[in-house]
Structure 1
Amino acid sequence: MRKFLPLIGSHPGGRSAMTCRYRCGDACFHEVPNTSDNAYVGDVIAGVLSRRSVLRASAVVTVAAAAGATTLAQAPEASAAGAATAAKRKGGAKAARGLRFTPVAPNTTDAVTIPDGYAQNIVIRWGDPILRGAPAFDPDHQTAKAQAGQFGYNNDYMAVLDVPHERDRQLLVVNHEYTDEQLMFAGYDPANPTREQVEIGWAAHGLSVVVAQEERRSGRLTAVLRHRLNRRITATTPFEVTGPAAGSKLLRTSADPTGRRILGTLNNCGGGITPWGTVLSGEENFNQYFANGGAVTDPVTAARLKRYGIGGAASERKWERFDKRFDVAQEPNETNRFGWVVEIDPFDPESTPRKLTALGRFKHEAAEPRLTDDGRPVLYMGDDERFDYFYKFVSAKRMKRGNSRAAREHNRTLLDEGTLYVARFTGDSPAAEIDGSGKLPKDGEFDGVGEWIPLASGTTSFVEGMTAEEVYVFTRIAADKVGATKMDRPEDVEPSPRTGRVYIALTNNKDRGTAGKAPADEANPRNGNKHGQILELAEHWNDPAADRFSWRLFLVCGDPSDPATYFAGFPKEKVSPISCPDNITFDAHGNLWISTDGNALGTHDGLFGVATAGERRGEVKQFLTVPKGAETCGPIVQDRRVLVAVQHPGEVDGASVEKPASTWPDGPGKLVRPSVVGVWRRNGDDIGV
């Protein structure tokens, strides 16, 4: 008889209890790991108002410098008067270029719903064979060996690159965040998984690299199975450890006394593409895979585990029964080997992927790069936890152009040497005007300035009482010590390729303002924040390496009829409702596209486009919705197609293989399968023009 574990009620947003349990180990129902008493945004305003006009001017100069000869209309409104003017905008006769489609209405349809005039297809599904020798997917006879050659489970972040010398082909790199064994295996007993089920789970994590063929006339994309570049990276694939913490005693285990070789990557979420052609992937909710943290008696180690949300007894999936590295009592350092950004070379299937210690260790949700004027990469990174922080890394080296062996070898080192920073945000409104309701302050905007606080550079620590190795391995603790700003779950990050402004998705935080927790502040202005916000950041003088920035909230999400929402001053009756922003990307026209996770408005998650400039700045338009129980992930918006990863379809409380909650994508009687979906215009024209 199937055994079900108890479900926890009152989950944040629109997520099911099942999703919370398998995706993040019920993170939102555990004690908040950040118990520091850092100053909040609203507490640090002394001297800010006197500098406000100068900083606003620098923000406008930043935008102008980034855009060259662009007009001031492309910059954010720079005063209360500007915000008031924006509120009166009617918008032109047409939507912004790239967003000219009829918005999809909010719905609860068990399908991918797209605008009129568009078509869709499944590019690839969980279990589709991608390596030579891998069998076709057989839900009743799954094996770990087969899964290691098949497309993984719960697709998340996606990257697309051109395949050299192969016309109309692109290389798709996809993260596989987590597994839900109750939807994978008939008769699954969560209290007693079998070794084969566990090993299938290991093989279903990680990443897939798969070539896709474009149909030239329509833009339709289909996977090319068993191509020479196709690859699977799993929870048991060897990784090289690089950067200043490589070889640290904090990373050494009985299986790896050198601290330089780690098996596998887990809970891969957001990522990025480097300018030199590699793909980055962030390890997010890795803590849930480890058991028996509560058995650790050393107080220093116990405190470190607690700060990363590792505790308790058995893990959800019981992996510790089959590999002692997941048992903290036996291998206390194994947890330190996860929570990194990993880098892979998608064009070399034989290359060893790398874990990059210079970028710090936390629940990584994004690794989005920019280049400084002199060619040094800068990465922006979010830590997806309630009340955790926003980071950046500035490389010490310049990128070498070209594809020579020397250039490739040099560029492999760019993310190993540099300075790691954490952000402190300061609001420019009196604390009394930020009351937790989401009401705009008197100046008409939630905005302010900020600074990047250095944590470590190479072997130098800037944090009192911590070595550089400790800063990299226990980055959260270092950020606590220097007084970083507690945020509402910083998830994906995306610099605008047009303006250089950086957009940060802050998904939600149900604990904001509750007893003993940080109250609302200007960057996180709502207590009990169910719907999240998008923050827009401009580096001083548009220099990614600058140590100062200005910021404002671009969107405060939720029901447009709710006074506690804001859409960059655009008329609220003209926007699509949006809740819980997660992954974000840009199109070629400079529009921001937002996928949602856990829509708290009672309808399904979706993908939304929003203009960031001009008369239509702040106009949100829903492009698609996903099936029952699903989340929209990893959006890619190209000229002729949109790609989304439909993650955890049918993940509804009480669902199972025998009792599915969704029939997507293959209809009744078939196993529900996470999949990548492509959408294109039926007439072959570009998206939204």
Structure 2
Amino acid sequence: MRKLLTVLGSHPGGRSAMTCRYRCGDACFHEAPNTSGNEYAGDVIARALSRRAVLRAGAVGGTVVAVAGTGACSSGPAGAVSAEEAKTKGKPAKGLRFTPVEPNTDDKVTVPEGYGQNVVIRWGEPILRGAPDFDPEKQTAKAQKGQFGYNNDFLSLLPLKEQEGDEKRQLMVANHEYTDEVLMFAGYDADDPTREQAEIGWAAHGLSVVVVEGEKKSGALKAVPRHRLNRRVTATTPFEVTGPAAGSKWLRTSADPGGRKVLGTLNNCAGGTTPWGTTLHGEENVDQYFANTDEVKDEEHKKRLQRYALKGTDTERKWERFDDRFDVTKEPYEPHRFGWVVELDPYDPDSAPRKRTALGRFKHEAAQPRLTSDGRPVVYMGDDERFEYLYKFVSSKRMRRGDSRADKEHNMTLLDHGTLYVAKLTGDSPEDEIDGSGELPSDDHEFDGKGKWIPLATGDDSHVKGMTAEEVYVFTRIAGDKAGATKMDRPEDVEPSPRTGRVYAALTNNTDRGAAGKAGPDEANPRKGNKHGQVLEFTEKGDDPAARSFSWRLFLVCGDPEDPSTYFGGFPKDQVSPISCPDNVTFDDYGNLWLSTDGNELGSHDGLFGVATAGRRRGEVRQFLTMPNAAETCGPIVQDRRVLVSVQHPGEEDGASVEKPASQWPDGPGEYVRPSVVSVWRKDGGDIGV
């Protein structure tokens, strides 16, 4: 359907070497820290699809069963419309009725015809009272503490609960995942950064809370600076540690001998919005901030650090030169205080954010809750690294729907009590037919199967032999290893559909899949050398979020639609937008799944895509926008009349610097390249995609 562009770059996932250095510490260029012998779940899917194409081609006068339970295709009388052709008749799914954006490498945010856009807020814009306007040549840590942070990722929009607010105003919460100092400071010396530059970096990490106001006649948004609810949370903001691991010996440091107070949050990737009005934020690639793992003498401690990808001596940013807590030879347990899910009350600027230990410690991509029928929160989570696991937390406490102080205090304890699980997926086809060839198994001509949630810990009780509950929470990856969890291809955002309850997991990629000495194929997981990623769909038993078992099937296998190993929910492949490396997910009010991408391996810039999850258009992928040069699509929000995205790390290409920018977005030539939040809307004032 669409001409694909020449592939850019050579790093896994299509990212530049600079992005790999600053965002995740070159994670894909080091051995994956999971060396367990557990099964792998990430490559089954492609095998199904190449075989499916063969079956279609040879189906003359016969019937072919489609993959993933999408029904049967059969040849009919001459001139008849096939079931596949019938899917393309009529309009796209409601919410997706826009002209798809073509793949491109333009240095701008490209949106569909008839849509407008505006920059809501840029890195460095003042949001707190007393903060100065952004001056890139006169940056200070004090100023940055009152300004919008760097590399915005997850976004949440909440109603404004105050008398002065109206339907035009909302409260926006944004993550700031990491800093890219070479693009922040003119003349930056990576070998010899200054203390002021390090402290600016600390202040540019974390979270921002900003009131935003919409225009009456469009979906345009603008930030309301210096509003009383605006807030910055940084790498030095005091946090409370809560839940069953609070006070653990593994969390104690010289500055915090009680193990209950932590300074700051780091590498906040995606997140979630709770039904009780708070936001959740996943601490992801925290390993890169800590120096001198190779010099640790205690072999057991070093082994645990390495399981969390800590390695080497000095770090990229050299923060250990200015604060001993970033040197594991001086503060051995400081790394254990990061890698949690953070909960924030955005309506209370004076409240302390909390690190929720009951949800386990790993490279959290996101955390989006749903409620059981009796009102208990369930949170699905992915550990974003090659061969890591999918997790679920089920609270033992029910949410209160009142607005009293007692109700609010109760709801702020919901994520401290419950059971943490890890997923194991199995297939149902003959084992000798799951050989990595891509050929469909003979039993039902599809790749699907069952799964179970293995309990790891409940409160102070461990369910993992040889580990205490505290160890399970602090060293959750090791607990998953021992439990026999299924290895996945970089599990990122995992979210339930608000309409159907089905759960969708974005698995971004894993080029190590099937390599020498690595885990091989199983029925739950796809291609060798998986460059493009896939999306798995889960249904809990009895549609109960607290169930201990589930069924799974393939929804998307991403990549070039002309590649026989790709699959789009059963929709005709010549009628979809090509998509690569799915990352963050969200849903619109019509039940469509929206996917942002991170590292498009098809040569186009990253983008935002909508895809129908039900009906005859199920699997129809339609591209809504693309990013500027080298930028990643993050934080998508899809409302009735606007779409919000975070434009993260624009211009982050190899060799780029302040003096040699690789992008001119958002303000044109001669200006600093600045990560920003963008709002997109229909120019005629109508609803998105209808």
| TM-score, normalised relative to structure 2 | 0.92
In the alignment, which residue of structure 1 is the partner of 2:447?
A: 446
Counterpart-to-counterpart distance in 2, 1:10 and 1:218: 41
User: Secondary structure at 2:87's aligned position in 1?
Assistant: coil
In the alignment, which residue of structure 2 is the partner of 1:39?
A: 39
1:566-603 deviations in Å (ceiling 9; x for gaps) = 00110000000000000010000100000000000011
Matched, 1:569 2:570: yes
Q: Which of 128, 131, 134 is residue 125 of structure 2 equivalent to?
A: 128
Contact 1:555–1:568 under 8 Å retained in 2: yes
In the alignment, which residue of structure 2 is the partner of 1:311?
A: 311
Counterpart-to-counterpart distance in 1, 2:466 and 2:88: 55
Shift of 1:77: 6.1
Shift of 1:219: 2.0
Counterpart-to-counterpart distance in 1, 2:220 and 2:530: 39
1:85-137 deviations in Å (ceiling 9; x for gaps) = 86554323100000000000000000000000000000000000000000000
Matched, 1:249 2:249: yes
Contact 1:491–1:583 under 8 Å retained in 2: yes
Equivalent position amino acid for 2:107 in 1:
D
Counterpart-to-counterpart distance in 1, 2:431 and 2:104: 39
Contact 1:503–1:535 under 8 Å retained in 2: yes
In the alignment, which residue of structure 1 is the partner of 2:148?
A: 151
Residues 535-614 of structure 1 aligned to structure 2 (within 5 Å): 535-614=536-615
Equivalent position amino acid for 1:626 in 2:
M
Shift of 1:431: 3.3
Counterpart-to-counterpart distance in 1, 2:318 and 2:403: 45
In the alignment, which residue of structure 2 is the partner of 1:618?
A: 619
Residues 449-528 of structure 1 aligned to structure 2 (within 5 Å): 449-528=450-529
Matched, 1:163 2:160: yes
Equivalent position amino acid for 2:518 in 1:
K
Matched, 1:137 2:134: yes
Counterpart-to-counterpart distance in 2, 1:209 and 1:411: 21
Contact 1:341–1:355 under 8 Å retained in 2: yes
Counterpart-to-counterpart distance in 2, 1:181 and 1:438: 44
Matched, 1:280 2:271: no
Shift of 1:429: 2.3
Matched, 1:666 2:667: yes
Counterpart-to-counterpart distance in 2, 1:629 and 1:438: 33
Contact 1:154–1:674 under 8 Å retained in 2: yes
Shift of 1:331: 0.5
Residues 81-480 of structure 1 aligned to structure 2 (within 5 Å): 81=72, 87=84, 89-164=86-161, 165=163, 166-167=165-166, 168-442=168-442, 443-480=444-481
Contact 2:40–2:525 under 8 Å retained in 1: no
Contact 2:464–2:479 under 8 Å retained in 1: yes
Q: Percent of aligned positions with the same letter in both sequences?
A: 75
Contact 2:513–2:530 under 8 Å retained in 1: yes
User: Secondary structure at 1:362's aligned position in 2?
Assistant: coil
Contact 2:70–2:570 under 8 Å retained in 1: no
Counterpart-to-counterpart distance in 2, 1:357 and 1:271: 16
Counterpart-to-counterpart distance in 2, 1:576 and 1:655: 30
Equivalent position amino acid for 2:29 in 1:
F
Contact 2:193–2:317 under 8 Å retained in 1: yes
Shift of 1:446: 2.4
Equivalent position amino acid for 1:343 in 2:
E
Question: Structure 1 residues 532 and 437, CA, compared in 2 at 3 Å: closer, same or farther?
Answer: farther
Shift of 1:217: 1.5
1:202-222 deviations in Å (ceiling 9; x for gaps) = 000000000000112212111
Counterpart-to-counterpart distance in 2, 1:141 and 1:11: 34
Question: Structure 1 residues 456 and 617, CA, compared in 2 at 3 Å: closer, same or farther?
Answer: same
Equivalent position amino acid for 2:554 in 1:
L
Shift of 1:485: 0.2
Counterpart-to-counterpart distance in 1, 2:70 and 2:344: 44
* Unpaired segments ≥5 residues, structure 2: 1-8, 45-66, 76-81
Shift of 1:83: 11
Counterpart-to-counterpart distance in 2, 1:371 and 1:152: 32
Contact 2:501–2:543 under 8 Å retained in 1: yes
Shift of 1:521: 2.2
Counterpart-to-counterpart distance in 1, 2:318 and 2:431: 47
Shift of 1:445: 2.9
User: Secondary structure at 1:552's aligned position in 2?
Assistant: strand
User: Secondary structure at 2:342's aligned position in 1?
Assistant: strand
User: Secondary structure at 1:320's aligned position in 2?
Assistant: helix
In the alignment, which residue of structure 2 is the partner of 1:5?
A: none
Using the TM superposition, name which of 83-92 and 479-488 deviates more. 83-92
Counterpart-to-counterpart distance in 2, 1:582 and 1:83: 35
User: Secondary structure at 1:634's aligned position in 2?
Assistant: strand
1:121-155 deviations in Å (ceiling 9; x for gaps) = 00000000000000000000000000000000000
1:12-49 deviations in Å (ceiling 9; x for gaps) = 021000000000000001111000001346999xxxxx
In the alignment, which residue of structure 2 is the partner of 1:14?
A: 14
Counterpart-to-counterpart distance in 1, 2:315 and 2:110: 36
Counterpart-to-counterpart distance in 2, 1:90 and 1:377: 37
Counterpart-to-counterpart distance in 1, 2:524 and 2:194: 47
User: Secondary structure at 1:13's aligned position in 2?
Assistant: helix
Counterpart-to-counterpart distance in 2, 1:633 and 1:371: 25
Question: Structure 1 residues 609 and 83, CA, compared in 2 at 3 Å: closer, same or farther?
Answer: farther
Counterpart-to-counterpart distance in 2, 1:221 and 1:338: 33
Contact 1:103–1:576 under 8 Å retained in 2: yes
Equivalent position amino acid for 1:463 in 2:
V
Question: Structure 1 residues 181 and 437, CA, compared in 2 at 3 Å: closer, same or farther?
Answer: farther
Shift of 1:81: 3.5
Equivalent position amino acid for 2:681 in 1:
W
Shift of 1:646: 0.3
1:184-204 deviations in Å (ceiling 9; x for gaps) = 000001011000000000000
Counterpart-to-counterpart distance in 1, 2:42 and 2:235: 43
In the alignment, which residue of structure 1 is the partner of 2:6?
A: none
Shift of 1:654: 0.2
Counterpart-to-counterpart distance in 1, 2:674 and 2:641: 26
Contact 1:89–1:571 under 8 Å retained in 2: no
Contact 1:368–1:493 under 8 Å retained in 2: yes
Shift of 1:435: 3.5
1:343-386 deviations in Å (ceiling 9; x for gaps) = 00000000000000000000001111010001000000000000
In the alignment, which residue of structure 2 is the partner of 1:71?
A: none
Contact 2:380–2:391 under 8 Å retained in 1: yes
Counterpart-to-counterpart distance in 1, 2:22 and 2:603: 22
Contact 2:502–2:539 under 8 Å retained in 1: yes
Equivalent position amino acid for 1:541 in 2:
G
Counterpart-to-counterpart distance in 2, 1:77 and 1:83: 16
User: Secondary structure at 2:137's aligned position in 1?
Assistant: coil
Contact 1:178–1:205 under 8 Å retained in 2: yes
Equivalent position amino acid for 2:72 in 1:
A
Shift of 1:434: 3.3
Counterpart-to-counterpart distance in 2, 1:39 and 1:134: 52
Equivalent position amino acid for 1:556 in 2:
V
* Unpaired segments ≥5 residues, structure 1: 1-8, 45-75
Contact 2:149–2:207 under 8 Å retained in 1: yes
Using the TM superposition, name which of 435-444 and 547-556 deviates more. 435-444
Contact 1:448–1:550 under 8 Å retained in 2: yes
Counterpart-to-counterpart distance in 1, 2:400 and 2:281: 22
Equivalent position amino acid for 2:639 in 1:
Q
